[in-house]
Structure 1
């Protein structure tokens, strides 16, 4: 199944040219450590040019030229969209780009194109400071990426039936209820993910769902491991590439090596099993990617990525809520649907705004915008006030009354349902290592007392989501 650049002669020509001398970073965007003169990685110019040509042609293929056209359809006979998750974090973006390009290279079906999609609006991508910095440092043309809302679907009555549209999900395994792709759920053809398996994709889909620390590990394995290793770690290679030829192994300087390494390092906190989930497969892939990208100091690379991710001091409360946001619809007792959002960010709850009222108003406005019944806030940060700069996580939960007009969303203080959600020994408390009320008065006031310190610094959204699902799928129809 062929990706867009094969329709463009220059993409094939670029791959056929003699390799140019590898370059370090990108002119104007050097990939340099903040405290040393040593580069983080080396990128081969020709490989980078090929990748950017692929991205430009892929975008051109699926985005309508005329924004006023009544019917917009992807200008390709058959298209597979490789979708990152709706949070569009670094792992998701690196995986979507890398897997789509790998499938393109392996494809021998002239009628099929592969297109990676970053599933946030283009204007929101600037909020992902770490991902933006990484892509620009590597030299990936961000303007050439395809973002949410840019794929021209046109009349959707037939694409699935006649196989004109397929979806591949990376770094998630279920389409969000409000996703623009939700109506195409039966077109999901493959899944590569490391979260708890919700099993909401078609039974015919090729699924590689393994609880590694990073989804990038699963994408990288078929591109870097030798055949003996792939005989053991074969999910992605044998399932996702089932209708193409075998994936092409990465050469030294391939920009995807730096992208995938960054994702593995950031997701696993530099392979630190004391801080987060780390799988033996993450540990096996990381040094290979480091060698291919000539990353001699992965720790410094990780530290710079982490600085970029957690430097959110200048963001407004609304920007903090939307920069890394996911939303689910859970169907509970009496067939009642609960729309639940989870926002992740990197500043303490009490530092989101100048006072409690401003934080609460921002949450209420955001809930109205997203039409949610409940909004969970999960923040992770290094404690600058402690001598050890301990890594901490906090959790808060807001419930809203949506029973009236859809525009009339009101903050509910201290509902019985809130209390049950966070009760000691409950699924959520266990998943997050226990929940203790925060000491910060602003945070307590903003969330009506439902703001907590997490006992487990590894308790990320990956752990919270299954517990939230279990709770709301058993919740009564009462909103209070």
Structure 2
């Protein structure tokens, strides 16, 4: 079975197409059979078994989606238990994939049957939890997203988190990730248990794509020697594109000329709630919502997307009831240098002043270089930041600010 795919320079430069023939592989065939069987079993109600759901963060980037699918498949292959129905649950709505050209292209190019995947809005995890038949594996993050926090008692494993002292003390299996990409660790596990499956181009491409995007094409400060080694081992997955070509195809699919600003912000959006600290009477102050969007274009390009871009950003913030919205931009400039910027949108100009005063005291962790954008109001600012600054660093600083500011 073969699929014709466009060469990378056609996809992101618009030249005449050249075709690459990508052969379907045994590993993807087994993966699709597994996905279909588990979806059918879930549709039947999973009689007589526990539902072992593998779930990642609600910022469903390529690396998180790929690792969720592959780790669930790995567990199913190695556990061989009739007690569990092990399924990957993609932590986004199926309809949101329509705005994710990178994911759609990757699934198509790897021959992954999207109809067999289970998305978060297609399964009622609370139903299984109510009857005591839910077991959760949390992947690639330290805490459950706020929408799933009520399911925390069902956690049995935390895989590839950033710190060992999680807030879920009862979970025995906590695996701290030393590498930049969760896909690196999963690929290593397959290499130890069934190395032949990594020889297939489609199977290895799914893992390789996750590694390349998680490590910014193996160039981020967090990228380890193991990330680079596993990318080399999975090189067949890149095909004629090569690693750089595959990365550029997926990265440049963040270019979103046909989407509205709100849709761009929602592509990779994470929202969390910070609890207010107790006041003098022992009551808690109101909780606050913080949101973070990741985009693959320059902030100036987002602001000039259409004549109402600034108003649409504010409308998105109000719709999500956010006291603070951070838009993290990662892009390549005209000289092919990687740059990072952030747009900060606060609920008021006073909030912005207090936040910037706080962030300036942590300039060693998050140095801010002002980028002047004409027409912005006092509650919205743009800064260039260090290219190696991670979203987790920004998130941690915002969490700390939400505590000290209340």
Which TM-score applies when normalising by structure 1?
0.74
Q: How does 1:395-410 map to 2 (within 5 A)?
A: 395-400=342-347
1:218 correspondence with 2:168:
no
- With over 3 angstroms needed to count, the CA separation of the structure-2 counterparts of 1:451 and 1:188, relative to structure 1, is same
Distance, in Å, in 1 between the alignment partners of 2:368 and 2:76 is 46
Instruction: Give the SS at the match of 1:300.
Output: helix
Which of the residues 153, 159, 165 maps onto 2:134?
Answer: 165
Check the 8 A contact 2:143/2:166 in 1, yes or no: yes
2:238/2:246 contact within 8 Å kept: no
2:258 aligned residue (314, 330, 334): 314
User: 1:40–1:395: structure 2 CA closer, same or farther, 3 Å change rule?
Assistant: farther
The 2-side partners of 1:249 and 1:462 are apart by 32
Among candidates 182, 185, 188, match of residue 152 of structure 2 = 185
> Given that residues 303 and 310 in structure 2 are in contact (C-alpha distance below 8 angstroms), is that contact kept between their aligned partners in structure 1?
no
Aligned twin of 1:59: 39
| Aligned counterparts, 1:69-468, within 5 A | 74-75=46-47, 77-153=49-125, 155=127, 158-160=130-132, 164-177=133-146, 179=147, 181-193=148-160, 195=162, 199-225=166-192, 247-251=193-197, 252-253=199-200, 255-273=202-220, 276-291=221-236, 297-308=242-253, 310-334=254-278, 335-336=284-285, 337-354=287-304, 358-384=308-334, 388-400=335-347, 412=348, 414-415=349-350, 417-423=351-357, 426=360, 429-432=363-366, 434-442=367-375, 445=376, 448-454=379-385, 456-468=386-398
- What secondary structure does 1:333 align onto? coil
Question: 2:5 touches 2:22 (CA, 8 Å); kept in 1?
Answer: no
- Separation in structure 2 between the aligned mates of residue 50 and residue 63 of structure 1, nearest angstrom: 20
Q: Does 311-320 or 283-292 show the bigger shift?
A: 283-292
- Report the CA distance between 1:210 and its aligned residue: 1.8
Shift of 1:394: 1.4
Q: Cα 1:457–1:365, aligned 2, differ >3 Å: closer, same or farther?
A: same
**SS class of match (2:122):** coil
| Conservation of the 8 A alpha-carbon contact between 1:271 and 1:278 | yes
Alignment partners' CA distance in 2, 1:197 and 1:464:
20
RMSD across aligned positions (CA): 2.8
Q: Displacement of 1:425 after TM fit?
A: 6.0
Higher helix share: 2
Matches of 1:394 and 1:75, distance apart in 2: 50
> Cα 1:345–1:216, aligned 2, differ >3 Å: closer, same or farther?
same
CA distance in 2, matches of 1:157, 1:268: 35
**C-alpha distance in structure 1 between counterparts of 2:161 and 2:389, whole Å:** 15
Q: Residues 373 and 292 of structure 1: is their aligned pair in 2 closer, same or farther, counting only changes over 3 Å?
A: closer
Q: Does the 8 A contact of 1:253 with 1:294 survive in 2?
A: no
Contact 1:92–1:171 (CA under 8 A) maintained in structure 2: yes
- Displacement of 1:280 in angstroms is 1.8
TM-score, normalized by length of structure 2?
Answer: 0.87
Q: How far is the alpha carbon of 1:333 from its aligned partner?
A: 3.0
User: For residues 32-54 of structure 1, what are the alpha-carbon distances to aligned partners after superposition, in whole Å with 9 as ceiling and x for unaligned?
Assistant: 4336968597541x332221121
C-alpha spacing 1:357/1:331, structure 2 compared with 1 (3 Å) = farther
1:316 Cα deviation from its structure 2 partner: 1.0
Q: Is the 8 A contact 2:93 2:120 kept in 1?
A: yes
For 1:307 and 1:75, how far apart are their aligned partners in 2?
Answer: 44
Between the aligned partners of 2:245 and 2:99, the Cα distance in structure 1 is 23
Corresponding residue of 2:281: none
Structure 1 unaligned blocks of 5 or more: 1-22, 65-72, 226-246, 401-411
